[in-house]
Amino acid sequence: MQVTPMNVEVKGKSSSADKADGETIIEVRGIRKVYAVNQTALTVFDGLSYKIGRGSFLSIIGPSGCGKSTLLKLISGLETPSGGEVFFNGRRIDGPPKGMIYVFQQYTKSIFPWRTVLQNIRFGLDSQKSLPAREAHEKCMEYVKLVGLQGYENYYPYQLSGGMQQRVVIARALICEPDVLLMDEPFSAVDAMTRAILQELILKIWSTLPITVLFVTHDVDEAVFLSNRIVSLGRAPATVREDVAIDLAYPRDQIRTRGEERFNGFRQRLFSSIFLQEKEGIPNA
């Protein structure tokens, strides 16, 4: 599959920071999360609070084991907090809410191998609404086009590359028309070039659709390239160690943006903080 990298123009989005004084779509209020591990209490969060603005692209980074994926699961309602509350559009979350879609890291386990690209995407549509067959087909084809899979709609997953399979997962999530797209290290299992192309794809989607993206990644460079705000968590029990507005201009370009001095400044600041925490956690490092 030939894919041409694109300059991504963001329409209707802030060119700098997620506006702290703007409309809040998600609020994490005094979250506490404790797991029982080998008869010992492991406290991941103990009073974490944060607000996420509507329409933002916010990345969560931090050292290994700090609770990045756990926070996403608490926000999505897939896990219940031990204390505190999470609100979505002003309503307390007590289970997976309508309007949020979760894209998992392991895309091979997220799509049905016995369904074609079109049928996998159709599954997402059918889970949300019932449309006449022709209208449903046309809508599915719109999302095939959105993720750049024209000509592959009748292929099965085993006939696709890893990056193309992840596009199917993204299209199936987006056809549900969520307010919030939750992404847990969605590009970590693909090669570096495919990852760069998928990064530009998700920015294109964010610019096209009225969605908020909450993105978990271990890759600081990826977070800086994509986001207009980054939250860096400290070690468990995690707190917000850094809250950084990434005011690099959109559209962003894999070559030009990454070559900017300010890009490297953001990357150095955030990477240094996480790296030092990782070293502290390794004996005799």
Examine residue 15 and state whether it is found in any structural domain, yes or no: yes
Mean of all residue pLDDT scores within the chain: 88
Which of 164, 140, 138, 130 minimizes the C-alpha distance to 3? 164
Using one digit for the tens of pLDDT, what is the confidence trace for 182-223?
999 999 888 999 999 999 999 999 998 999 999 999 999 999
Within this chain, do residues 184 and 279 fall inside the same structural domain, yes or no? Answer: yes
Within this chain, do residues 133 and 201 fall inside the same structural domain, yes or no? Answer: no
**Separation between Cα atoms, residue 96 and residue 128, nearest integer Å:** 14
Cβ-proximal residues to 33 (8 Å cutoff; 6+ apart), any chain: 43, 44, 45, 67, 70, 74, 79, 81, 82
Within this chain, do residues 203 and 95 fall inside the same structural domain, yes or no? Answer: yes
Cβ–Cβ < 8 Å for 26, 76: no
Amino acid 282: pLDDT: 59
Using one digit for the tens of pLDDT, what is the confidence trace for 28-50?
999 999 998 888 899 999 999 99
Q: Which residue is associated with the tokens 């600041």?
A: 269
Domain boundary residue, one of 177, 197, 215: 177
Using one digit for the tens of pLDDT, what is the confidence trace for 73-118?
999 999 999 999 999 999 999 999 999 999 987 777 789 999 999 9
| pLDDT beyond 50 at 20 | no
Examine residue 277 and state whether it is found in any structural domain, yes or no: yes
pTM of the model: 0.88
Domain boundary residue, one of 132, 150, 177: 177
Question: Domain residues for 132?
Answer: 108-177
Distance of CA 265 to the CA centre of its chain: 23
**Separation between Cα atoms, residue 123 and residue 85, nearest integer Å:** 31
Within this chain, do residues 222 and 187 fall inside the same structural domain, yes or no? Answer: yes
Give the number of domains in the chain: 2
String of DSSP letters for 228-266: SEEEEE-SSSB-EEEEEE--PPSSB-TTTGGGSHHHHHH
